[in-house]
Amino acid sequence: MSKLEGPVAATFTTENVLTGPTIFITGWRVGMNKVGVGRLLQQNGIGIGDAFRLVNQIIRNYGQNPEDENRFDDGLPIRVQVAEGIGRDEIIEQLRDLGVLID
What are 10's strand-pairing partners? 78
pLDDT along the chain (103 residues), means of 10: 55 62 93 96 91 93 90 90 90 97 91
Task: Give the CA distances from residue 65 to residues 5, 41, 70, in Å, rounded to whole numbers and listed in that order.
Answer: 21, 25, 8
- Domains in the chain: boundaries: 10-102
pLDDT tens figures, 37-65: 999 999 998 989 999 999 999 999 998 88
pTM above 0.95, yes or no: no
